[in-house]
Structure 1
Amino acid sequence: MNNVLVEAKNLVTHNLRTSGIYIAFIAIIVIFTVATKGTLLSPENVTNIVLQNAHILIMALGMILVIVGGHIDLSVGSVLAFASAVSAVLVIRMDMPWWAGVLAAIVTGIVVGVWQGFWVAFVGIPAFIVTLAGMLLFRGLAWLVLDNVSLSPFPREYREVASGFIDPVFGVITVGEGEGLKGVAQTVDVFTLLIGVLAVIGLVVSSWRSRRTRIGYNQPVESMTLFVAKLVAVAAVLLAFAWALAYNRGFPIVLIIVAVLILVYQVVTNRTVFGRHVYAVGGNLSAARLSGVNVKSVNFWIFVNMGMLTGIAAAVFSSRSNGAQPGMGEMFELDVIAACFIGGASTMGGVGRVGGALVGGLVMAVMTNGMQLMGVPQSTQQIVKGLVLLLAVAFDIYNKRRAGATR
């Protein structure tokens, strides 16, 4: 009987760790929807949330690997500014093609990643110090490259990267004559709805396979009732999200970029040797070395990857901003790091998932957007974000202590 109670207790703890962030995310959506009288989930606002936070989600994909590997990167905001500055100088000042600017931003991020990865992996300087120095260094280079001035505007093609939408592929559905904005019939993009349905199908298939795999390895899983309830809740959110996009302007181009990166990094973290090595290094460094893992190589490529994704985020953000400014990207590291910790990453390394980081980023995005719609002062917004980050880390430490006490 005692064994049954212990197993049940461990399963509840496991469910809370794996499903708690999703429950919290839905609760936050409900709270801010009520507080903003439905404005939060209006089609226009849902689209704006995607466009305004795509760069944070992209960088969170890289930061989760950094944190899982047992490191931290404080320089992402400055690197984004530096990469954006390089792109702007080439496209706006030197009149080069728009794609050259996008490529330059990505290459700049990779070069920065190589630089920081070298100091962390091969010289042995802690990532905290290297990236703190990088925060100052690359912010200064952003000012230097821009010659202390802002550059704008980018050509239309460059702006389309973050602000453009896919033309209707399968046509549109007209929603009632005389409905919609200003009494005009509203159209709904069929392609966007189809993508939403396919996303739900993919979620169900992936979750079911993951559950069967865990059962096969005798690992704890949630009850079938909770499993189905979680899938239904997430599927409802995805379909509502797809409907909002379809009802407004259709499928954003930047969402394709984010979606492709999510799929790639799901595979990298779950099905590649490199992904397993990252978790091994962050989980137990000594054991990883004894197992033959090339720790220096893993740490190096973690930061190269972070630099590349920051370069992509720089192209996206400068596209949406329609220019580059020396001060852009300030405090972005807060949102990116907070997204990972809120999404379940451990401060000790070795724990964290791509899906959790994305949900954590969306939690921050919805909170920020909701508070802005409510007219909450910027100072109060920063206080709330700080408290949420602190509570997320405290929850992680609390769970670790409970797990240690039950062994």
Structure 2
Amino acid sequence: MSDTPAVPHPASDPGLSPVQKFLRATEIDTRLLGMLGAMLLIWIGFHLYGAAVNGFGAFLTPRNLWNLSVQTASVGIMACGMVLVIITRHIDLSVGSVLGFTAMIMGIVQVWWLPGILGLGHPLIVVITCIVGLVLGTAIGAFHGWLVAYRGIPAFIVTLGGLLVWRGMAFLVASGVTISPVDTTFALLGGGPRGTIGETGSWIVCALVCIAILWMLSAGRKARKSHGFPLRPVWAEVFLAVLGCGLAIGATLVVNAYPWPVGIVKQYAAEKGIEIPEGGLFISHGFAIPLLILAVVGLAMTILMGRTRFGRYVYAIGGNPDAAELSGINTRWMTVKIFALMGFLTGLSAIVASARTTSATNSLGQLDELYVIAAAVIGGTSLAGGVGTIYGAIIGAFVMQSLKSGMVLIGFDAAIQDIVVGIVLVIAVYVDILYRKRAK
């Protein structure tokens, strides 16, 4: 079969500039390109500022980038759910408080209750705790959705009330006491030297990602050919393959370049009976479990939004709720399911956040709702509804965490951090308004 497309590709238009031809040939989302460019500028800016002030740059180092990925995971997971909520023209201001309440309940279950029943360190403690967190988060989200859909209360009011109620409940259930330490196996879900997959596991993941990239490009080309759609130029396909695999390999090299701390290496060597050589023992962290959880969530949510009826219904409701209802979509039941999914992801985020801090505190997740909303909006999710992507929200979460991490590294106090985050959020919404005006 000929590789010549039945329809000329838009990049073949002779009136386009070289940059326009490149963007059309590769079909790279310009907003995605802009977000990645902004994130790269943030990274370079903080690194150079640190180098100028302190004599060395601490941002673009394996240690900081690894920590950045772990710190982003919790907000990134919730941002994936917030995309759906905002697309359907709602908002959820309660996610930070729900995270705190859910983490507190999980702390009580695994520290106060289950050890007395199953015994300290029993493997079922982690399983039961995670199930409790996910079910509780889903139930709270579904309850919020029911109030919005079937009782007609605006989502802003329902979730604003939830922000106050669940934060108060988090304090009451444990009388404000910090519950720690959590189960040692549960703590692995939050990262740390032992909460990783190591050097070999990271290269295996990298290989699987590269295979998936090549398969998707090949399958996409075959699908276009079978339907008579225009094909990307071969050089554009090769460029995308090299770019995707290059980024995966680069990320793997970075996480594998970050070694375990010396004290933990000595402890590990003593446990395994390993003799430490004179020059020391280098053990790579590799990809952290929280980052892998975020990657799995991002992939699953992308498939859900792009390949299923549920995802099409979400975009239809966001585009025109009245038309969606007239076309036969049960918009009220969909609202309940969307908020339940948001609650499920909040419960998952609570697992990651409490495992990372190895404790459950009343303040856990405080102000996370603002960072989650900001991540979704920065990632291109329109507050007017109908527009948004999962990968955009994840990149938005990395942008937000990069700002926070960078300001901490260079010594900005909390007040300045809040000011910067607020300004960035307003600018992101303004950019979205300008983008939608140009798209009309």
Q: Report TM bin, short chain.
A: 0.7 to 0.9
- The letter for the 2-side match of 1:299 is T
Aligned mates of 1:289, 1:218 — CA distance in 2: 33
Which of 388, 392, 395 aligns to 1:356? It is 392
CA positional deviation for 1:101: 1.9
Q: Match of 2:435?
A: 399
1:344/1:357 contact within 8 Å kept: yes
- The letter for the 1-side match of 2:44 is V
1:193/1:246 contact within 8 Å kept: no
1:56/1:361 contact within 8 Å kept: yes
Aligned mates of 1:287, 1:14 — CA distance in 2: 31
Which of 39, 42, 56 aligns to 1:25? It is 39
- Percent of aligned pairs sharing the same letter: 36
2:187/2:195 contact within 8 Å kept: no
- The letter for the 2-side match of 1:121 is A
What secondary structure sits across from 1:39 in the alignment? coil
Q: How does 1:335-354 map to 2 (within 5 A)?
A: 335-354=371-390
Q: Match of 2:178?
A: 150
Q: Match of 1:240?
A: 250
Q: Does 1:277 align with 2:296?
A: no
1:11/1:221 contact within 8 Å kept: no
Aligned mates of 2:167, 2:310 — CA distance in 1: 31
CA positional deviation for 1:229: 6.3
Q: Match of 2:146?
A: 118
- The letter for the 2-side match of 1:245 is V
CA positional deviation for 1:399: 1.5
Aligned mates of 1:130, 1:141 — CA distance in 2: 16
Which of 405, 409, 418 aligns to 1:382? It is 418
Q: Match of 1:66?
A: 85
Aligned mates of 1:57, 1:268 — CA distance in 2: 17
CA positional deviation for 1:53: 2.1
Aligned mates of 1:31, 1:19 — CA distance in 2: 18
Aligned residues: 382
TM-score by length of 1: 0.84
- The letter for the 1-side match of 2:256 is A
1:91/1:101 contact within 8 Å kept: yes
1:192/1:243 contact within 8 Å kept: no
Which deviates further from its counterpart, 347-356 or 194-203?
A: 194-203
Aligned mates of 2:90, 2:241 — CA distance in 1: 32
- The letter for the 2-side match of 1:61 is C
Q: How does 1:51-130 map to 2 (within 5 A)?
A: 51-96=70-115, 97-130=125-158
Q: How does 1:314-325 map to 2 (within 5 A)?
A: 314-325=350-361
For residues 304-356 of structure 1, the C-alpha deviation after alignment (integer angstroms, 9 at most, x for no partner) is 00001101111111111111111221100111111111001101111000110
Which of 30, 48, 60 aligns to 1:41? It is 60
Q: Does 1:368 align with 2:404?
A: yes
Q: Does 1:307 align with 2:307?
A: no
CA positional deviation for 1:166: 4.3
Q: Match of 1:194?
A: 204
2:137/2:344 contact within 8 Å kept: yes
Say what the alpha-carbon RMSD is for the aligned residues: 3.0
2:377/2:396 contact within 8 Å kept: yes
Which deviates further from its counterpart, 190-199 or 201-210?
A: 201-210
Distance verdict in 2 for CA 1:218–1:291, change over 3 Å: farther
Q: Match of 2:4?
A: none
What secondary structure sits across from 1:148 in the alignment? coil
- The letter for the 2-side match of 1:351 is V
Aligned mates of 2:72, 2:33 — CA distance in 1: 23
Q: Match of 1:264?
A: 300
Distance verdict in 2 for CA 1:154–1:15, change over 3 Å: closer
